[in-house]
Each structure stands twice: as structure tokens, then as C-alpha cells.
């Protein structure tokens, strides 16, 4: 698979089979992803990978919280600005509409929307979960470095025939994740990532992208 095909075919998959991912494949992907760029090569990402019984236990504990209706953990970073000005708010709304329409869920059906959201904490059935932490002393440039690293991981997964779904949703269950991983106190959980083989029977809509002239300005000849 060439780079262009990896970019075009990467998407946030929300339905995986239980087919196991070989450890050597994960090690190959993460070893190559270490070559991702970062300012002054400080490599600010801290990665934990869960499979097997530890992941099953995490899903179990998260599922209990969902079933009990427990409040979310307070996020340690702001996921979105409180007011998304145009065109960002419109893009976010369009995504939500497309996502839930593909599942046959109308906007007014709050319970169904909650059930769909709860699938996050089962990793959409994936057999692998990656959790990305960053040192709380780091600033916006280092968070950008982490984003480049995660994109590299996702493209390499495509090269291996795998799919993924990055999930900031795990930030609101960060204490449950910490129970299993015991990360140092100076780290913040940025996101999780479900990894595995796509369940092709799941319905989905490929969300669109803004036209080039809406996001790119060429200056010069």
C-alpha cells in the first residue's frame, strides 16, 4: 500500500472483529512510528498498549461505569473551545449528523445516541487499545508532535491491513484507565486508540472534507 492509499483509506472505524493482531505487527508499527518528527527530537509521547486480559478488564470496568451512570472524570485539557466559530462548528455538526444517520439514530433519540457513544469504552470490539499520554509540563508544540506521531501510527496500521479509531473520549474515563496502567502522576491521558481488523458488516458513512480552496492558500506562481 503506497502512502497516498494509506491516507485515503484511513478513517475512524467503529466496528472491529475479534481477530487477534500479532504482537510482532504492533511492534513493527510502533518501532517505525518512533521516526515521527518532533521539535528538537524530544519525542513527547508515552504509549501503553493493552491486549488480552488487561484490555478485557478495562472494558469490564468501563462498562460498569457506563451501566451505573457514573459521572465522567473531569478532563485535564479542553477538547474543544466553548464556542466553535464558523466554519468549525458547522463541520462538527455535520459530522454528528452523518455519524448518527448512518446508525439510523435521529437527533432527538438521546438514549440511542448515548448507547452509540458508550461503544467507545468497549473499543468498538477491537482486540487492541493504545493509550497516549503526554507530560503535563508540555506546551502546544509538543501536543502537535503527539498528533503527528499518532497519525504516523494510523497510517502504518493501514499498511499492515489494520484499521484504527483515535478516541479522546477515553479522557473522561482516565481514572479507570489509570487503575490498569498506573501511569506516573506527571502524565496526562490525551487519547485512546482502538486497533484491529474492520468488521465490514458495520454501517458507516465516510465523512467528507472541505474543498482545497477552503483550507489552502497558494501564494506565488
Over residues 165-172, mean pLDDT: 96
In the structure grid, which three cell numbers stand for residue 155, read together?
A: 497510517
User: Which residue in 214, 215, 208 sits closest to 11, CA to CA?
Assistant: 208
Residue 38 has pLDDT above 70, yes or no: yes
pLDDT value at position 88? 86
pLDDT value at position 111? 66
CA angle (81, 8, 47) in 5-degree steps: 60
User: Rounded to an integer, what distance in angstroms lies between the CA atom of residue 169 and that of residue 146?
Assistant: 17
pLDDT value at position 98? 74
pLDDT value at position 81? 87
Q: What is the pLDDT of residues 122-160, one digit of tens each?
A: 999 999 999 999 999 999 999 999 999 999 999 999 999
How many angstroms from the chain centroid is the CA of residue 67?
Answer: 22
Residue 113 has pLDDT above 80, yes or no: no
pLDDT value at position 92? 81
Over residues 5-16, mean pLDDT: 94
Mean pLDDT (the chain) is 92
Residue 21 has pLDDT above 70, yes or no: yes
Give residue 71's pLDDT band: very low, low, confident or very high (50, 70, 90): very high
Q: What is the DSSP string of 162-220?
A: -EEEEEGGGGGGHHHHHHHH---TTEEEEEEEEEE-B-TTS---------HHHH-----
Give residue 18's pLDDT band: very low, low, confident or very high (50, 70, 90): very high
User: Rounded to an integer, what distance in angstroms lies between the CA atom of residue 168 and that of residue 120?
Assistant: 10
Q: What ranges in 77-184 are assigned the alpha helix state H?
A: 88-102, 110-118, 140-159, 174-181
User: Which residue in 126, 162, 119 sits closest to 9, CA to CA?
Assistant: 162
Strands 45-51 and 128-135: antiparallel
pLDDT above 90: percentage of residues in the chain: 75
Q: What is the DSSP letter of 130?
A: E
End-to-end Cα spacing for the chain:
33
Amino acid at each position: 500500500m503506497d502512502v497516498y492509499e494509506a491516507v485515503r483509506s484511513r478513517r475512524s472505524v467503529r466496528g472491529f472483529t475479534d481477530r487477534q493482531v500479532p504482537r510482532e505487527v504492533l511492534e513493527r508499527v510502533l518501532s517505525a512510528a518512533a521516526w515521527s518528527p518532533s521539535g528538537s527530537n524530544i519525542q513527547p509521547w508515552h504509549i501503553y498498549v493493552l491486549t488480552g486480559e488487561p484490555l478485557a478488564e478495562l472494558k469490564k470496568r468501563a462498562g460498569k461505569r457506563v451501566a451505573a451512570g457514573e459521572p465522567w472524570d473531569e478532563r485535564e485539557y479542553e477538547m474543544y473551545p466553548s464556542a466553535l466559530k464558523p466554519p468549525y462548528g458547522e463541520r462538527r455538526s455535520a459530522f454528528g449528523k452523518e455519524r448518527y444517520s448512518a446508525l439510523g439514530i435521529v437527533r432527538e433519540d438521546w438514549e440511542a445516541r448515548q448507547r452509540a457513544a458508550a461503544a467507545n469504552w468497549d473499543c468498538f470490539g477491537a482486540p487492541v487499545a493504545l493509550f497516549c499520554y503526554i507530560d503535563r509540563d508540555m506546551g502546544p508544540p509538543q501536543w502537535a508532535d503527539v498528533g503527528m506521531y499518532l497519525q504516523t501510527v494510523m497510517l502504518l496500521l493501514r499498511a499492515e491491513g489494520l484499521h484504527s479509531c483515535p478516541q479522546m473520549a477515553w479522557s473522561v474515563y482516565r481514572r479507570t484507565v489509570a487503575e490498569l496502567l498506573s501511569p506516573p502522576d506527571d502524565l496526562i491521558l490525551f487519547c485512546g486508540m482502538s486497533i484491529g481488523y474492520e468488521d465490514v458488516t458495520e454501517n458507516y458513512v465516510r465523512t467528507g472534507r472541505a474543498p482545497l480552496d477552503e483550507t489552502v492558500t497558494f501564494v506565488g506562481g
